[in-house]
Amino acid sequence: MRAPTRTETHGNPTRRPAVGGGPVAFVQGRLRWGFETVEAVLDRIFGPAWNPLYQLGALGFFYYWVVAVSGIYIYIFFDTGTTEAYDSVQYLTVDQWYLGGVMRSLHRYASDGMILMMVVHMLREFALDRYRGARWFTWVTGTPILWLVFVAGITGYWMVWDQLAQYIAIASTEWLDWLGIFGEAIARNFLTPTTLDDRFFTLLTFIHIVAPLLLLLVLWIHLQRVTKPRINPKRGLAAGTFLMLVALSFVKPAVSHPPADLTVVPGVLKLDWFYLSAYPLMDTFSNGAVWAFAGVLTFMLFALPWLPPVRRPAAAVVDLNNCNGCERCANDCPYNAIIMRPRSDALPFEQEASVHASLCVGCGICAGACPTSTPFRRASELVPGIDLPDRSLRALRDEADAVAAGLAGDARVMVFGCDHAVPVGRLATDGIGTLSLPCIAAVPPSFIDYVLSRDLADGVVITGCRDGECFNRYGVAWMTARLLGERDPYLRKRVPRERIVTSWAAASDRVALEKQIETFRASLSALPKPSAPQAPQAPQAPQAMADGDGPNA
């Protein structure tokens, strides 16, 4: 009888539910299913590298620069004033339609694209539960970005000074006047044509320029705890989406309403629902109610990472007796949770790794990168230079030994999986053993060598999140590079590649993964039996375990 896996005996201890159950978890589950379904379709159409849902933040940055460049061009021809503003925009739109009109349309549609990317990005991070714990800072600093983008967009519509701008101006100033923080009601500026001063448009221009500059500063803060942030989409995706915006600018150019007339109440208006969706609420409810709604919504966004409190995993710990200061853990950490500092013990190394516990998410990528994380160590205890207290590599080796002892058949397979992808415990059979980790990059390549060279299984399956969107950002990329020998610690050349298969699959891709494993097992049956297991090798000192060297050489 095959030994039960950790997943079967204890559920999945490292796979934490989104928010501990309840309605929020239900909503997250439905959203996650929706995103995974759409992502699968886009993967087939564009491929993982160009899938826009994998690059929402980068696309938002790209649209920001399109808005900035087109805005600078528009500003060159823009005149401030109650009549000059409208006339200058009309000149761009009509008389210079071939360039100025395109620039105005690009400015409009790229701004809408920013809103769309931000909202979908936030929903996706919420659905994947990537906004709590150590990730709270990025979520919280993202909330002011919404307000700044809306301020920039609304003042932009206001500056055109057509009938839509007139409606926005009156509704906005009445909403602000409700606060009672101004010396006099600013809505009075829009009672008659004589009360509106040209200096007001100068103020609007100032706000419209300063808001994007503040936005850029907040975006910089937003990314401070993110290692190697993706701020540029793939070139092909950027070119494709830019051409889409240009085509839309020609097919449906942005145009103005009739000029504003404060003696007339605007009639039918065409709202930009990306930016102006709140204005119908101002017509339906009181200004106080709309302020209350905006305040509660903002507070909920700020407080969401702690509602309810999350049980954080234990942070990675460093064992200085086995740390040679090679920097691999710091280089591979996706969250800037590991820094290198001067040595604090007597070992002859210049530096040592140090974990910032409040930034660590317990993904284990650092342990998978450590050159001392080798299961071949038998003469001494398996204690790598850095490890997870809740999911140690020694426990992983013991679990692999136990699972392998129960495998039967001529095509035995060991599956290493990710807690955030397909629940691999459900794939276990007499011929398939499974082990799940917080991230697939937490598996050192030496473990694959260990399983095959010790004849614990006939083949190894490495599976994790979909290619292009790892839950821990770089887990799939780092593991792929290690297997290809492009990143240390790399998989030794002696390991037979025909006995290894990778499958990057989301939780909803379980059936496809099962079929791939069965195909892999059929191919293993046709392979000749491997040579006899190699004898264990003695562990080496930490100073020898660098640049790919180690007991699995």
User: At 451, phi and psi to the nearest 5?
Assistant: -65, -45
Among 377, 411, 414, residue whose Cα is nearest residue 530: 411
Cα R_g (the chain), whole angstroms = 29
Specify the pLDDT at position 187: 82
Contact (CB, 8 A) for 468 and 475:
no
At 274, the amino acid letter reads F
In this prediction, residue 532 has a pLDDT band, given cuts at 50, 70 and 90, of low
Helix residue ranges, H only, 223-305: 235-251, 273-276, 279-284, 287-303
First to last CA, the chain: 34
Q: What is the mean pLDDT of residues 346-366?
A: 94
CB burial class (10 A; 0-12, 13-18, 19+) of residue 56? buried
Give SS3 for 63: helix
The C-alpha atoms of residue 84 and residue 175 are separated, in whole angstroms, by 27
Angle 56-77/198-222 helices, nearest 10 degrees?
160
Q: Which two tokens stand for residue 427?
A: 């794939």
Contact (CB, 8 A) for 438 and 388:
yes
Q: What is the mean pLDDT of residues 320-347?
A: 94
Range scoring the smallest mean pLDDT among 17-21, 26-30, 432-436: 17-21
Pairing type for strands 386-387 and 317-318 reads antiparallel
Contact (CB, 8 A) for 261 and 165:
no
The C-alpha atoms of residue 251 and residue 223 are separated, in whole angstroms, by 36
Q: What is the mean pLDDT of residues 240-263?
A: 95
Q: Which two tokens stand for residue 376?
A: 């071949």
User: At 196, phi and psi to the nearest 5?
Assistant: -90, 125
Tens of pLDDT, residues 75-128 = 999 998 888 999 999 999 999 999 999 999 999 999 999 999 999 999 999 999
Phi-psi region of 127 (alpha: psi -120 to 50; beta: other; left: phi over 0): alpha
Specify the pLDDT at position 378: 75
Specify the pLDDT at position 191: 65
What's the distance, CA 55 to chain centroid? 8
In this prediction, residue 25 has a pLDDT band, given cuts at 50, 70 and 90, of confident
Give SS3 for 122: helix
At 307, the amino acid letter reads L
Neighbour count for residue 286 (Cβ, 10 Å): 10
Helix residue ranges, H only, 473-544: 475-483, 510-525
Q: What is the mean pLDDT of residues 528-534?
A: 67
pLDDT at 7 over 60: no
Give SS3 for 158: helix
pLDDT at 21 over 70: no
Pairing type for strands 432-437 and 413-418 reads parallel
Q: What is the mean pLDDT of residues 493-501?
A: 95
pLDDT at 18 over 50: no
pLDDT at 322 over 50: yes
Q: What percent of the chain has pLDDT over 70?
A: 92
Structural domains in the chain?
55-306 (1.20.810.10), 317-544 (no CATH)
Among 116, 92, 99, 60, residue whose Cα is nearest residue 250: 99
Contact (CB, 8 A) for 124 and 35:
yes
At 220, the amino acid letter reads W
Q: What is the mean pLDDT of residues 324-347?
A: 94
Specify the pLDDT at position 165: 94
Specify the pLDDT at position 40: 93
Among 389, 520, 399, residue whose Cα is nearest residue 451: 399
pLDDT at 8 over 90: no
Q: What is the mean pLDDT of residues 405-433?
A: 94
How far lies 309's CA from each of 19, 132, 337, 360, in Å?
Answer: 8, 9, 21, 17
The C-alpha atoms of residue 252 and residue 420 are separated, in whole angstroms, by 42
Q: Which two tokens stand for residue 547?
A: 């640049």
Give SS3 for 307: coil
At 135, the amino acid letter reads R
pLDDT at 35 over 60: yes
Contact (CB, 8 A) for 451 and 414:
yes
Average pLDDT, rounded, for the chain: 89
Contact (CB, 8 A) for 368 and 357:
no
Neighbour count for residue 48 (Cβ, 10 Å): 15
Pairing type for strands 338-342 and 351-355 reads antiparallel
pLDDT at 17 over 60: no
pLDDT at 243 over 50: yes
The C-alpha atoms of residue 38 and residue 56 are separated, in whole angstroms, by 14
pLDDT at 199 over 60: yes
Contact (CB, 8 A) for 518 and 526:
no
Q: What percent of the chain has pLDDT over 90?
A: 77
What contacts 24+ positions apart, CB below 8 Å, involve 23-27? 24/307
What's the distance, CA 40 to chain centroid? 17
The C-alpha atoms of residue 170 and residue 168 are separated, in whole angstroms, by 6
Residue partners of 507: CB distance under 8 A and separation at least 6 = 32, 36, 420, 421, 422, 423
The C-alpha atoms of residue 325 and residue 546 are separated, in whole angstroms, by 9
Specify the pLDDT at position 531: 65
Range scoring the smallest mean pLDDT among 20-34, 261-275, 276-290, 473-487: 20-34
